[in-house]
């Protein structure tokens, strides 16, 4: 009995380490430079359409994160008195500096993702890959993989690689699966650059 006990103890300890502690230390926990509520901007309070900030330009490039000039259109002066609002106006808008957002969905430099082909060409909804960001109250912490340096959103929230939702995880396998299902070419340079 005793012999099994030690074996089980080792097993349990390492299982716990691999499943619980390892994921906690694998990813960093970085706060965004300031808080932002999609819900306030797109919901009833302001009511901006998503395209107001996240535009697809005529040449097919996706302008994902709006420039500070876009924020300045409304936030030339502080609206409200939160600390983040003050930070936005004083540090970024007035100084004309871009906000160093940590972009959750940014892929590695050797892959390209033409938004135009997917949104217009394939008719996919933004939520298909990004989830329902548009209704989020606040920005979650950005979690970067300490080994690969990529955002956690690429691998997905489950450490085992199980998809918790359709949009959870956008690995090469996920891209390839969708391409296969839709009969789109899966050649390397279709996505790699």
Partner 1 sequence: MVIDLDRCTGCGACVIACAVENNVPPAHEGTTPRTGLTWMRVVRVDDGRSFPDTRSVFVPLMCQQCDHHTPCVSVCPQNAVEYDEETGIVTQVPVRCLGCRYCMTACPYHARYFNWWDPEWPAGMEQTLNPDVSTRMRGVAEKCNFCHGRLQAARAKAAAGSRPLAPDDYQPACVEACPTEAIVFGDLNDPRSTVSAAASSPDTFRLLEHLGTGPKVRYRSRSAAVRESLTRNSVSSEKEQVHG
Partner 2 sequence: MNSSISRRDLLRFAGGGVLGLLLSPLPWKVLDDSAIWTQNWPWIPEPSRGPITWSASTCSLCGAGCGVRVRSSNGHPVSLAGQAGHPMSAGTLCATGLLAHHLACHPSRVLQPIRITNGTERTAADMATIVAAIHAAHSASTSASPAIAVIDSRPGRAASRLLMELAHQWPSAAYGVAPQAGRARTDLIRKHFRTAVPEFAADIQHARLIVSFGAPLVDGWGTAATARTLLAETSAHPRPRLIQIEPVRSRTANVAETWIPVTPGTEHVCALAIAQAIIEGRRMKSAVRARAEDAAALAAFLHDLDLPPAVRRCGISDARILEIARSLSDEPASVVVASPAAPEEVQSAVLLLNLVAGTFFREGGLRPLPEIPGAARTTDARTLEDFDDHSLSVIILDESAAGADIPAAVFGQKLKPGSGIVVSLSPFAAPRPVPIQYVIPAAVWGERLTDVAGTSPAGEISVGLAMPVMPARPDTFDTAAFLGAVTGTSQPSTEEILRQRIAAIWSGRRGMVYDPSSPTLRPVHAFGGTDALWSVLQSGGCWIDGPRPAGSMPAFRFLPAGLAEHLTKRVAATKAATAPALALVITSDPLRRDQAFDATLMSKVRDESGLYLPCGSVAIHPTTAEAHNVGVGDDATLSINGTTLPVHIACDSSVPPGLVSAMDGDGPVALAQSKISDRSVGSVASATSAPSVIPVTLWKA
* Interface residues toward partner 1, by CB under 8 A: 56-61, 109-110, 112, 114-117, 120-121, 185, 187-189, 192-193
Q: Which two tokens stand for residue 172?
A: 């090469």
Scan residues 30-89 and list those touching partner 2 (CB under 8 A): 59, 61, 63, 67
Q: Closest by alpha carbon to 134, among 46, 56, 20?
A: 46
Question: Residues touching partner 2: how many (CB under 8 A)?
Answer: 33
CA–CA separation, 124 and 82 (whole Å): 37
Residue 187 partner contact from partner 2, partner 1, none using kind-dependent CB cut-offs of 5 to 8 Å: partner 1
Q: Residue length, the chain?
A: 193
Looking at residues 108 to 147 of the shown chain, list those that interact with partner 2 (rule: CB under 8 A).
108-110, 145, 147
Report the Cα 70 to chain-centroid distance in Å. Answer: 20
Q: Which does 117 bind (CB under 5 to 8 A by kind): partner 1, partner 2, none?
A: partner 1
d(CA 35, CA 19): 30
Q: What would the DSSP string read from start to end of 57-80?
A: PTTS-EE-SPPHHHHHHHHTS--S
H/E segment holding residue 28: none
The least CB distance from residue 63 to partner 1, in Å, is 12
Tokens coding 53 = 């900030």
The answer to whether 77 and 89 are in contact (CB under 8 A) is yes
**Which is closer to partner 1, CB of 3 or CB of 109?**
109
* Binding partner at 14 among partner 1, partner 2, none, C-beta below 5 to 8 Å by kind: partner 2
Options 35-43, 45-53, 159-167, 179-187: segment touching partner 2 (CB under 8 A): 159-167
* Rounded Cα distance, 21 and 51, in Å: 40
Give the one entry of partner 1, partner 2, none that residue 161 binds, where binding means its C-beta sits below a cut-off of 5 to 8 angstroms depending on kind.
Answer: partner 2
* The one segment of 8-16, 45-53, 74-82, 176-184 that binds partner 2 by CB under 8 A: 8-16
Question: Least distance to partner 1 from the beta carbon of 30, Å?
Answer: 24
């Amino acid at each position: 009995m005793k012999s099994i006990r030690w074996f089980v103890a080792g097993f349990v300890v390492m299982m716990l380490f691999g499943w619980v502690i390892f994921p906690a230390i694998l990813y960093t926990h970085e706060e965004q430079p300031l808080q932002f509520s999609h819900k306030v901007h797109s919901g009833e309070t302001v009511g901006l359409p998503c395209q107001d900030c996240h535009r697809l330009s005529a040449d097919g490039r996706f302008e994902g994160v709006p420039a500070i000039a876009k924020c300045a259109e409304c936030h030339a002066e502080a609206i409200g008195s939160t600390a983040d609002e003050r930070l936005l106006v004083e540090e970024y808008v007035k100084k004309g500096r871009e906000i160093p957002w940590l972009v959750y969905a940014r892929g590695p430099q050797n892959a390209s993702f033409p938004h135009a082909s997917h949104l217009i060409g394939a008719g996919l909804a933004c939520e298909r890959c990004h989830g329902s960001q548009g209704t989020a109250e606040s920005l979650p912490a950005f979690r970067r993989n300490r080994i690969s340096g990529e955002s956690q959103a690429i691998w997905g929230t489950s450490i085992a690689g199980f998809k918790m939702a359709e949009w959870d995880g956008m690995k090469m396998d996920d891209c390839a699966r969708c391409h296969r299902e839709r009969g789109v070419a899966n050649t390397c340079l279709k996505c790699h650059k």
